[in-house]
Structure 1
Amino acid sequence: MSAMSRFNNISFFLFIMTLMVSCTSSRTSLTYFEDLKGEQSGTLSSADYDIKVIPDDELFIVVSSLVPEATAEFNLPTVNPAVRGNVGTPSQQSQITYLVDKAGDINFPGLGTLHVGGLTTAQIASIIAKKVSETVEDPYVKVQLVNFKVNVLGEVARPGTIEVDTERYSLLDALAAAGDLTPYGERENILLIREENGQKHFHHLNLNDAATLSSPYFYLQQNDVIYVEPNKIRHDNSKYNQNNSYKLSVVSAVVSAVSVVASLCIALFIK
């Protein structure tokens, strides 16, 4: 192998090693809750997951009893989604929901205006049951939030809107539904955006810290937005891709210049 070929091989090797060292220094830990790795078992405090009803929520509410006719006036009529105006079979019927207005109220049949804003579904059910029990014996009231959704964005496998069918829904549930974080997701800095009292608030959560499991923001509320920030490797790769052509041209020019200089040095050395 000529001296020129050896010089070019050494230059290329040093360039590759520089890139590898740069990537290694930006490595992100992929382990969740690292502070629990040395523990065999333990107990963590639990956060409150009760959902409070807010304006624009949709509530499914049904009142029943041993005598169905006795509670008929406290229920909205059902509609057949296939053919409007028909009663339909039970499997075809769709219960009309109650939309919470800006004041936090709903108009409930047989009871009039009810203020439900700031209450949990269990509290609403208890209030309605107490009022209905004045005329109906042992009523049963079911209240369900039907438009609970969260948005997961950023470095996850499947970003998008997640429809939630339970009121006990955590950050980990949302990330699992989104396909988990990618290797480029920053696990120490998960951004949660939540609307509270008419204002947008943000909170940062650390998936490497088990204290997150006890955070008041671990359980999600309706319309929460979760953003997984890309780590430094993703940032660096993005910058590299955006300027790929420019960088390749610069590297090519540098290599060519080095080759010329090396050729001159070899020629002078041989002489």
Structure 2
Amino acid sequence: MKFKDLLFAVFCVLLTACAQPRDVIYFQGVDSLTPEQLEAMSQTYSTKLTSDDLLSITVSNWDPESVAPFNPPVYSYSTAEGEQPIVASQSMYTYLVDKNGDIEFPVLGKIHVAGLTRQELAADLQNKISKYVKDKPLVKVELLNFKVTMMGEINRPGSYSIKNDRVTILDVIGMAGDLPLTANRKNILVIRENEGKKEIYRLDITDPNIFSSPCFYLKQNDVVYVEPIKTKLRSRTSSDRQFTMSLITSLISSVSVIVAMVISIKNN
């Protein structure tokens, strides 16, 4: 009976090891949240401009010549022909936000942009430029260097360029090919720089409260680090499942042989 009990215990342990761990399931308990709780988790977010941001600003109008001073031409330099204008494009009208949060804009001079959204800056420039042109101009502001860096236990670590103003931690995890089973989903580190100071956040994406986290929406130049779990888990691919089943079968066969040998020895 002791050997049969041992065999049963080994079988139960192996089945438990093959079960899917709860640590890899996202948003556990989200189905039980009330509408009030979901409403409390809702948040609006828009990217604020900050130092070292690279902006593209273009000004257009029905009369292109009237806004030409606000779209300065770009020049190339040739030793043979001297200074020569080249065809300008939208990407050439770039402005780097300095450490004080300012940019130097043609005609208008120094403008403080830190803390504003793209839309707020566009509206501010539109009002200022309207004093110099007859018809109200159209101002377009783009953020060119919005990127997020993914590090650690990631399927595809690296820096990811973001084309829009809003990106969540779930978006960038999806861009990076999701997290492997060996990633610790309960302790994801987000490193953020805010006005020259480092801010550290911890995220648990197995908890639906992540939606109310101050770093659920990421900011430009955020660094996300995913640490590995203490015990590496075997990937749940089909080949690994076959390997696991083969291992279980071999172990059960080995135990059965040992039990049969011991019983035979006892009988003799």
- Pairs within 5 Å for 1:76-225: 76-78=72-74, 85=84, 87-88=86-87, 94-136=91-133, 137-225=135-223
CA distance in 2, matches of 1:169, 1:85: 41
SS of the aligned residue for 1:187 comes to coil
In structure 2, relative to structure 1, the CA distance for the partners of 1:110 and 1:40 (3 Å cut) is same
1:96 deviates by: 3.1
8 Å CA contact 2:53–2:96 kept in 1: the answer is yes
For residue 41 of structure 1, report the CA deviation from its aligned partner: 8.1
Residue 65 (structure 2) aligns with = 69
Q: 1:38, CA displacement in angstroms? A: 4.7
Tell me the CA shift for residue 86 of structure 1: 5.1
Separation (CA, whole Å) in 1 of partners of 2:105 and 2:190: 34
Deviations 1:193-233 (A, max 9, x none): 11112111111111112121122211110110111121122
- Residue 25 of structure 1 deviates from its aligned partner by 10
Aligned with residue 54 of structure 1, among 41, 50, 56: 50
Quickly say closer, same or farther: Cα 1:78–1:201, change in 2 above 3 A: same
Aligned 8 A contact 1:53 1:118 in 2: yes
How large is the Cα RMSD of the aligned pairs? Answer: 3.6
For 2:107 and 2:178, how far apart are their aligned partners in 1?
47
1:71 and 1:58 map into 2 onto residues whose CA distance is: 22
Question: Normalized against structure 1, the TM-score is what?
Answer: 0.71
Whole-angstrom CA distance in 2 between matches of 1:198 and 1:130: 30
SS in 1 for 2:151: strand
Map of 1:36 onto structure 2? 30
TM-score (norm 2): 0.72
Code of the aligned partner of 1:134: K
**Aligned AA for 1:159?**
P
CA 1:85–1:159 in 2, change beyond 3 Å: closer, same or farther? Answer: farther
* Unpaired stretches in structure 2, ≥5 consecutive residues: 1-6, 77-82, 235-264
The whole-number CA distance in structure 2 between the counterparts of 1:151 and 1:55 is 18
C-alpha distance in 2 between matches for 1:235 and 1:223 = 31
Unaligned runs of 5+ in 1: 1-12, 237-265
Q: Residues of 1 paired with 2:231 and 2:20: CA distance?
A: 6
Question: CA offsets, 1:93-113, max 9 Å, x none?
Answer: 742310111111111001111
SS at match of 1:70: helix
Offset of 1:234 from its aligned partner?
2.3
Equivalent pair of 2:73/2:88 in contact (CA under 8 Å): no
Task: Assess, with a 3 A threshold, how the Cα gap between structure 1 residues 201 and 21 changes in structure 2: closer, same or farther.
Answer: farther
Question: Retained in 2: the 8 A contact 1:47–1:215?
Answer: no
* 1:52 Cα deviation from its structure 2 partner: 1.4
Helix, strand or coil: the match of 2:29? helix
Q: Which residue of 2 aligns with 1:247?
A: none
Counterpart residue identity of residue 194, structure 1: R
Query: Retained in 2: the 8 A contact 1:192–1:226?
Result: yes
Contact 1:27-1:233 at 8 Å conserved across structures = no
Structure 2 distance, partners of 1:197, 1:214, is 23
Q: Deviations over 1:150-196 (max 9, x none)?
A: 10111221011001111011111110100101111111211111111
